[in-house]
Structure 1
Amino acid sequence: MGTLERVFHSVLFETLAVTSSILGLALFTDHDIGALSGTMIVIATMAMIWNYLFNLGFDRVMPGEKTQRSMSLRVIHVLLFEAGLLFFTIPVMAFILKVSLWQALLMDLGVTIFITIYAFLFNLIYDHVRAHVLQRRVLKGVRAVS
């Protein structure tokens, strides 16, 4: 996966994640949509940077065909990613929303549980759709040569 595709992957992931997270937090907290939107945009920006760096490193440590990754490796991948992200986002959420670190932890854990499931499904689907698209390109190239 090249740099341009990694950026596309991160932006698509975060756009869907931010929208869902804002709606979820609005349902379960008394913060207004404006404050939550600003917070989640900052968190998403942090997550996009972390996503790029973490996955670049993970792919170097675990090379090979992504569609062949085991479920246990996918679970480890998403848990490591989310734990690293929590480390950075809890203080930011506490500061922006003017809540304690404990409250930020609870809010961020709620978002993280949702995002962990979402990330697992998003990446599983993305990897298989990507493999399908690449396979179709190869088949079109073979037909064009024939």
Structure 2
Amino acid sequence: MRNTADRIRHTLLFEIIGISACVPLASWILGKGLAQLGTMSLAISFTAMCLNFIFNLLFDKALIKLGRPVNIRPTWMRIFHATLFEVTLLALTLPGVAWWLDMTLWDAFVTDLGFALFFLVYAFFFNWTYDTVFPMPATLVPATAENN
């Protein structure tokens, strides 16, 4: 599994690159100010960073419990991982997006879904690239009572 420093590097790189790409695009599409969307994106980013750390740790532990190596991730698993993360984040951020952008829940859902779709595709390619640049150790720890 990845160590804490690696997980923090992963999370920070993911959010910095993602926000830098997403905020100007969302500002243009929604007709909202960069400051308003930037502030909201930072709040979502903070939520996502906390969730990312916990989510990826639990995902790796689930792989180990299932007896799967954490360093082998076929395409279907990467799609499942990215989708599950984005659905979880969407559920957590929807009320805040509606409030911050003064939208109905439906409009906020569509807006948040746009962010989620952007980050879904981004997460897939970012994680694949990250795993290539910073590979995980090729070890499998058997699930035992000592590892839980």
TM-score bucket of the superposed structures, by smaller chain: 0.7 to 0.9
| Counterpart in the other structure of 1:141 | none
How much does 1:9 deviate?
Answer: 0.6
How much does 1:91 deviate?
Answer: 0.7
3-state SS, counterpart of residue 123 of structure 1: helix
| Counterpart in the other structure of 2:33 | 32
| Counterpart in the other structure of 1:95 | 99
Higher helix share: 1
Q: Distance in 2 between matches of 1:113 and 1:60?
A: 26
How much does 1:111 deviate?
Answer: 1.1
| Counterpart in the other structure of 1:142 | none
| Counterpart in the other structure of 1:62 | 63
| Counterpart in the other structure of 2:19 | 18
How much does 1:14 deviate?
Answer: 0.4
| Counterpart in the other structure of 1:130 | 134
Structure 1 unaligned segments of length 5 or more: list them.
135-146
What is the RMSD of the two structures over their aligned residues, measured on CA atoms?
1.6
Q: Higher relative CO (CA 8 A, sep ≥ 6), structure 1 or 2?
A: 2
- Deviation beyond 4 Å, 4+ runs, structure 1: none
Instruction: Find out whether 1:86 has 2:96 as its counterpart.
Output: no
Please give the TM-score of this superposition, normalised by the length of structure 1: 0.86
The CA deviation string for residues 11-70 of structure 1, in whole angstroms up to 9 with x for no partner, is: 11001111111111111112111100100000000000010010000000013242x211
What count of residue pairs does the alignment treat as equivalent? 133
Query: Match for 2:120 among 116, 121, 124?
Result: 116
Please give the TM-score of this superposition, normalised by the length of structure 2: 0.85
Q: CA contact under 8 A between 2:63 and 2:70: conserved in structure 1?
A: no
Aligned residues with identical type, % of pairs = 33
